């Protein structure tokens, strides 16, 4: 879960070209609907984050 969070934070910081600390809730699901082993993450993420240097909120908006 930590790696997933760090990956999201890296993507957001790259897209916004500013270091951004995001908020996210991550849950690991180990099995799919069929019952087969299929580990993956479910993520709820904030629509922005705090830039540590300026201590200001950075809105993400939509990015593909």
Block means of pLDDT (10 residues each) for the chain, length 64 residues? 91 91 94 86 92 92 72
> Does 41 fall in a domain?
yes
pLDDT given for residue 35 in this prediction: 85
Range of the domain at 10: 2-59
> Does 23 fall in a domain?
yes
Phi and psi of 36, rounded to 5°? Answer: -80, 150
pLDDT given for residue 62 in this prediction: 77
For residue 46, how many other CB atoms are within 10 A of its CB? 16
Q: How many domains does the chain have?
A: 1
Cβ-contact 6, 27 below 8 angstroms: no
> Does 64 fall in a domain?
no
List the helix and strand counts (H, then E) for the chain.
1, 3
pLDDT given for residue 21 in this prediction: 95
pLDDT given for residue 64 in this prediction: 64
């Amino acid at each position: 879960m930590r790696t997933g969070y760090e990956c999201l934070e890296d993507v957001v910081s790259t897209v916004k070209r500013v270091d951004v600390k995001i908020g996210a809730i991550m849950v690991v699901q180990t099995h799919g609907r069929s019952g087969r082993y299929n580990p993956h993450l479910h993520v709820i993420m904030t629509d922005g984050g705090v830039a540590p240097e300026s201590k200001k909120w950075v809105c993400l908006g939509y990015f593909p």
